[in-house]
A and B are shown apart, each in its own frame.
Chain A
Amino acid sequence: MGLLSSLMRQWRGNGAASDPRLLPEAQLSGPMPWVIAIMIAMTVIAAASGLALRNAAQTASADLEGGVTVQIVTAAPAERLRQAAAVVAALKQAPEVANVQQVAQEDLNTLVEPWLGTRPGDDVEALPIPALIDVRLKGPATADRVAHLRALAVPVAPSARVDAQAGWLAPVFAAIGTLQWLAGGLIALLALATIAAVLLASRNALGNHRETIEIVHMLGGTDKQIARVFQRSMAFDAAAGGLVGLLFGVVTIVTLSRQFAGLGSGMVAGAVLHWQDWIVIAAIPLAGIALAVLTARMTVLAALRRML
């Protein structure tokens, strides 16, 4: 890493030869690139998680938005079938409904089998499994619409329970929302920690070079000229750290997403990163560099103002 940031200094080489060589830049860096690398890696991972969660929530809610489920909960199988048929017939007439379909009883049985622990030979029929009717609306399942469907269903089927599908997942969405806030908070904390690290490093560097800074002041050097040296040094450190951090973060994300993809579950399958998300992630090191340089500049200028 030290090599990387000193290489970057080399590239600058003669290009900026007119810049006054005032302070020994190599001595400014120390552990700074590593600190930045860790911060960037963690920010990248936190941001990727936040974005993936957002995408998962969006995919899931798009699927569920127009979905309403009607359950017919009654113990008598014949009555259950009658009410289900009545509800299907009634709801087909509603203008906001795009499609109504009763979930086949065999499908239901296979669905509940692993949960109820039934084996071949067990009398699944004897269990009061509700009839399920899947309703697709033309628009989102708002409370008003659900109420309207309920008003249509209950007169013909007294044991019908009408719920928006999104409503079932409300706790999951709430959890995802919380996790997103957590990711955002984590990123904010990482930014604060970066600022603090840069601030301390800059103050430290200022202390080490106080003598030289005084001389440069006496020779007519301006605060901005001196600050520029620190900024540039910080920019190189942050660039080296940012690159390594980004690399590490991306490798982590890709590895994690492969493992999640292996789970093959519906909700997780939605947790992918789009190309726009990758742009955001690629911008993180740039934002880190900007933050570090700006912090260094303000720290140095503030300290210099206290000198004569």
Chain B
Amino acid sequence: MSQPDAEIVQFDNVGLRYGTDKEILADVSFTLYPGCFYFLTGASGAGKTSLLKLLYLAQRPSRGLIRLFGTDAITLPRERLPGFRRRIGVVFQDFRLVDHLSAFDNVALPLRVAGVSERDIVRPVGEMLDWVGLGDRQHVRPATLSGGEQQRVAIARAVIARPDMLVADEPTGNVDPDMALKLLRLFESLNRLGTTVVVATHDVHLIRKVPESLIMRLDKGRLSDPTGALRYPPRRQTPTGASAPAPL
């Protein structure tokens, strides 16, 4: 378990290339602190999804160091990956719902995987689906849901187990502005309960809705950090943005 003040994620000169192509990510260094709210922006193809994949352990970097929850994630043995992944909730850009499972079973999946008893699954999952406005569609397969509805199921699944870190890749890309705002409030309330939130988005309006958020910008695979807020992020107690840098 991480110390209250210790960093939750640390990237140091991380590079990523797929196969023998050129690097998709280069010299990426940053630190994420527990309880902060981060936005990751950048043009399409800048490498946002790739960076998030490194973050939720779906991909190993080709170089550099990554520490997660105070542990070296590069040398992490395979059998310890599930334990780490259970502490991270992920909203995939392409949702990645399980086709043959109902909306309810999809949302329940992280709890079932974690061995939560069926008794303690029914109520929270039902409530979460109610919250994202799908209370009456619990037993429907993802294929019969609209894109926005699928996205909401994906979000419900990502937050149901109250992860230490929530990683969301374009989580509001398919919903109307009202629903986007509502989902953002969900992330914020989770954030207030202590979850570190990382949201990748193009949507500047969304970013403005969370004034205390920190912004990371990817530009052609490089992290631009003009204010130094990422290299020298604020302490956990004052997550008020780039104006309060604190040296490591």
What is the interface of chain A, defined by CB distance below 8 A to chain B?
17-24, 27, 211-212, 214-222, 225, 305, 308
Contact = CB atoms under 8 A, between A and B. Distances in A.
Given A17-B118, A20-B109, A22-B109, A217 B98 contact: no
Contact of B82 (A22, A215, A222): A222
Interface in B79-100: 79, 81-86, 90, 92, 96-100
A66 B97 CA distance: 77
Interface of B: 56-60, 78-79, 81-86, 90, 92, 96-101, 105, 109-110, 112-115, 117-118, 157
B59 A221 contact: no
Given A220-B83, A220-B110, A18 B118 contact: yes
Contacts of A214: 96
Contacts of B117: 18
Nearest to A222: B82
Most chain A CB within a 10 A radius of its CB, from B81, B85, B98: B98
B118 A219 contact: no
Contact of A220 (B60, B85, B98): B85
A20 B58 contact: no
26 contacts: A18-B117, A19-B112, A21-B101, A22-B98, A22-B112, A212-B98, A214-B96, A216-B98, A217-B82, A217-B85, A218-B90, A219-B90, A219-B109, A219-B110, A219-B157, A220-B82, A220-B83, A220-B85, A220-B113, A221-B82, A222-B79, A222-B82, A305-B78, A308-B58, A308-B60, A308-B78
A21 B85 CA distance: 19
Contacts of B92: 218
B56 A218 contact: yes
A218 B118 contact: no
A212 B114 CA distance: 17
B112 A21 contact: yes
Most chain B CB within a 10 A radius of its CB, from A19, A212, A219: A219
Given A17-B118, A308-B58, A221 B100 contact: no
A168 B176 CA distance: 95
A216 B112 CA distance: 10
Contact of A216 (B60, B99, B105, B113): B113
Contacts, number: 67
B112 A218 contact: no
A218 B115 CA distance: 16
A230 to B, nearest CB: 15
Contacts of B79: 222
A221 B113 contact: yes
A208 to B, nearest CB: 11
Contact of B109 (A18, A24, A216, A222): A216
Nearest to A21: B105
Contacts of B99: 212
Most chain A CB within a 10 A radius of its CB, from B86, B92, B100, B157: B100
A221 B105 CA distance: 15
B71 to A, nearest CB: 15
Given A218-B58, A219-B85, A221-B82, A20 B113 contact: yes
A220 B109 CA distance: 10
A218 B113 contact: no
A269 B58 CA distance: 68
Contacts of B100: 23-24, 27, 212
A23 B112 CA distance: 13
B96 A220 contact: no
A308 B59 contact: yes
Contacts of B96: 211, 214-215, 218
B42 to A, nearest CB: 23
A6 to B, nearest CB: 15
Nearest to B78: A305
Most chain B CB within a 10 A radius of its CB, from A18, A212, A218: A218
Contacts of B98: 22, 212, 215-216
B168 to A, nearest CB: 14
B91 to A, nearest CB: 11
Q: Which 8 A-B pairs have the closest CB atoms?
A: A220-B86, A20-B112, A220-B85, A24-B100, A221-B113, A220-B82, A222-B82, A219-B110
B248 to A, nearest CB: 30
A218 B113 CA distance: 11
